[in-house]
A and B are shown apart, each in its own frame.
Chain A
């Protein structure tokens, strides 16, 4: 049963990819979705067994790489963290499979699409179930690959190609960090297995790496930071976040899968999985917290002024991931994972709802050309409303429990990084509420802005698209309420040993006794943001118009709308110079320059020139030949007679060198 969970999506992938041609779209859909549903059921059973009944399970499947000390096996590690991730991944993946029936119904490549979805699920399951860092890396690269294939699904579109390449390359940047981190861990611990590394983590505390002179770095800090670089790439934290908004180019179910359950959650999963390591590396944890908070704030502000429906949701993903990451950075891995699980439900709901909206509006994605769909698509509207409310943390919905928990534990840290995260998180909560409400109002509430033909063809989603919405809406409504006391709090033993929190780091109890005002502040910001968005976009259009005339506000709008100009900075300073280096540096100077001139080509050219120069001595004139004859005879005589005489002072090999210089010396001969 445990291995079935891993292999079912693989079978789905193999059958749909290999036999999809004969199965057809419907057959492949039935097969892969059936496998996904079966996998989901098994995962629920696993959740019951492992997490609720408290029996973690470890399986060793086969040896993989055995080379002296390096001993990696295909092994599986099912503990509470893994099964939570498994349930999240398989449930969202199953619903996305089902949703694709309707959304991709007219696509001729439906089997390919479904096979990629299954491949994505397989790699994600591999990632979360592995019992060593190498297997994690296998899944890590695999989801990157699958995301590339899926973003690039409509491969005839140039934008999709570029977005997929960007996703792949930006992820690789992080993956290099991850690989270096794993390598560092192997150097420190002599193993890549979780059990060994985590057990020995405390012993290695305080070990340093010499840097320069007397300066040194804490080895564990370095390793954790490198691992975090991987998480930054995968979870789209500030710095490597630029691929995520562009990844919207794929079909909408793909965005749901990437943003909600699989790809981007891997970074948070890595942080949670490495909690025993991170607890021994306080400096690295500080960086994690700061970067997470910055990401949350950055993405929230950038999301406020985006006009693309999917892009708004993409920035909200980025922002919510920032919340999870800073929760992990503040040692509250349980809260981070709890938010991850909740986020998976309402973000999948939002994305699938957005897919329904786009479907209904005839592939229109611009918020400024929508509006007025409230009465025409009530189901979609309800789903989006629920998803948005869950996202902004409306009381008693999923996001409320986890986001407020994150902000509370941030406040209760009583140190700089905690306060920093709290302030930025609270501000982001206001922005989140603003853009979520703006999305709802401009999409559904405001006056119709699209074409007449669009509205004539406006339709509610078919049942295959509606059913996942309903199920996910149920999840968004209940997951926070149901799981809060199970996963969070002081008394729960839900996580067993899967998440570790160093003694003295936990402020879980303090968080419960915050002053009431601080507890209500995020909610106040949320309601304020929501009210502002509702007012501005529903009624006070002239106010917005007045703001648009002010230069300062216009500059701010441009700054935020262009995502803090990060992409432009990257292009100007990194992308272009890297491309220029590739062309001018490595290609022209190195490949065609140094290697060609001093390498084979230059060598042949030199010898050809030399031989031509020597051949040019034969002019055809008899008296030249006679002269050369005489000179040669003289030289020979001098050599034979003079050698014995000169050998006392001069090494005879020098003559050879001396003669050789005449051959190789640059002359005026032609260069072809």
Chain B
């Protein structure tokens, strides 16, 4: 297994997630999905290294990240629902009430 190819794949996924966060102006839901993508990329990275280094800790880590990501997306979605109930929109460009 060529590690570099694997890492490039996960890096690509990570960058896709980042771009989703930065470039997305429309929907907060997409931002949440991008975060999931970031976590997926990190998880993949952990698994690749676990296989490459023949070490179990990476797999344990990835399992933990999986649970944490599930919890996080659950709470995030809950926040979104609450926010949508109040504002009636999820457009990112309108969420700028807290200024410095």
| Residue A622 is within 8 A (CB to CB) of chain B in the complex | yes
A621 to B25, CA, bound (A): 10
Q: In the complex, A615 Cα to B24 Cα: how many Å?
A: 24
In the complex, chain A residues 394-442 whose Cβ is within 8 Å of any chain B Cβ? none
Chain A contacts of B23 at CB under 8 A?
Answer: 623
Q: Which residues of B contact A626 (CB under 8 A)?
A: 21-22
**Which stretch from B42-50, B55-63, B71-79, B89-97 is at the chain A interface?**
B89-97
Q: Given that A622-B92, A623-B24, A623-B25 are known contacts, is A617 also in contact with B18, CB under 8 Å in the complex? A: no
Contacts of A627 in B (CB 8 A): 22
Instruction: Give min CB distance, A469 to chain B, whole Å.
Output: 88
**A617 neighbours in B (Cβ, 8 Å):** 100
Bitwise interface map of A from 607 to 644 toward B, beta carbon under 8 Å scored 1, else 0 = 00000001111111111001100100000000000000
Are A621 and B100 neighbours in the complex by a CB distance under 8 Å?
A: no
Whole-angstrom distance between the alpha carbons of A622 and B22 in the complex?
9
Q: How far is the CA of A622 from the CA of B99 in the complex (A)?
A: 11
Does B40 count as interface, using CB distance less than 8 angstroms?
no
Query: How far in angstroms is the closest Cβ of chain A from B94?
Result: 10
Q: Is the CB of B100 within 8 A of A618?
A: yes
Q: In the complex, what residues of B have CB within 8 A of residue A623's CB?
A: 21-25, 92
User: Do residues A622 and B31 form an inter-chain contact, with CB atoms below 8 A?
Assistant: yes
Q: Which residues of A contact B24 (CB under 8 A)?
A: 623
A619, B18: Cβ atoms under 8 Å?
Answer: no
Task: Check if B98 is an interface residue, CB within 8 A of chain A.
Answer: yes
Distance of A173 from chain B, by nearest CB (Å): 60
A68-123 residues with Cβ-Cβ distance < 8 A to B are: none
Chain A nearest CB, measured from B20 CB (Å)? 10
Contacting B at CB under 8 A, from A122-171, are none
Please determine whether A621 and B95 come into contact, CB atoms closer than 8 angstroms. Answer: yes
Cβ–Cβ < 8 Å partners of A621 in chain B: 92-93, 95-96
Contact A620 B97 (CB under 8 A): yes
Which A-chain residue is minimally distant from B24 (CB atoms)? Answer: A623
Identify the closest chain A residue to B96 (Cβ).
A620
Docked pose: A614 CA to B100 CA in angstroms: 9
| Identity of the chain A residue whose Cβ is nearest the Cβ of B97 in the assembled complex | A620
Residues on the A chain within 8 Å of B18, using CB: 630
Contacts of B95 in A (CB 8 A): 620-622
Contact check, A620 vs B99: say whether CB atoms are below 8 A apart. yes
CB atoms of B21 and A620 under 8 A apart: no
Interface of chain B residues 12 through 49 with chain A (CB within 8 A): 18, 21-25, 31
Cα A621 to Cα B100 in complex, Å, equals 11
Across-interface contacts of A614 in B (CB, < 8 A): 100
Set A616, A622, A630: member contacting B100, Cβ < 8 A: A616
**Contact string, A586-626, partner B, CB cutoff 8 A, digits 1/0?**
00000000000000000000000000001111111111001
Find chain A residues with CB under 8 A from B25 CB. 623
Chain A contacts for B93, CB-based, 8 A: 621
* Minimum distance in angstroms from A494 CB to a CB of chain B: 92
Query: How far, in angstroms, from A620 to B100 measured CA to CA in the complex?
Result: 7
Q: Are A619 and B21 in contact (CB under 8 A)?
A: no
Which residue of the partner chain B has the closest CB to A615? Answer: B100
Chain A's nearest CB lies how many Å from the CB of B25?
Answer: 7
**Residue of A614, A618, A622, A627 contacting most chain B CB atoms (<10 Å):** A622
Q: Are A620 and B98 in contact (CB under 8 A)?
A: yes
A617→B100 CA distance, assembly (Å): 7
Contact check, A619 vs B100: say whether CB atoms are below 8 A apart. yes
Residues from chain B with a CB closer than 8 A to the CB of A616 are 100
Please name the residue on chain B nearest to A620 by beta carbon. Answer: B96
**B21 smallest CB distance to A (angstroms):** 5
List chain B residues, Cβ under 8 A from A630: 18, 22
> Which chain A positions have C-beta within 8 A of B31?
622
The 8 A CB mask of A546-583 against B (1 = contact, 0 = none) is 00000000000000000000000000000000000000
Instruction: Find chain A residues with CB under 8 A from B97 CB.
Output: 620
Minimum CB–CB distance from B54 to chain A (whole Å) comes to 28
A-B contact pairs, 28 of them (CB 8 A): A614-B100, A615-B100, A616-B100, A617-B100, A618-B98, A618-B99, A618-B100, A619-B96, A619-B99, A619-B100, A620-B95, A620-B96, A620-B97, A620-B98, A620-B99, A621-B92, A621-B96, A622-B95, A623-B21, A623-B22, A623-B23, A623-B24, A623-B25, A623-B92, A626-B21, A627-B22, A630-B18, A630-B22
Q: What 6 A-B pairs are tightest by C-beta distance, nearest first?
A: A618-B100, A620-B96, A615-B100, A620-B99, A621-B96, A626-B21
- 8 further interface pairs, Cβ-Cβ under 8 Å (given A619-B99, A622-B92, A622-B95): A614-B100, A615-B100, A617-B100, A618-B98, A621-B93, A623-B25, A626-B21, A630-B18
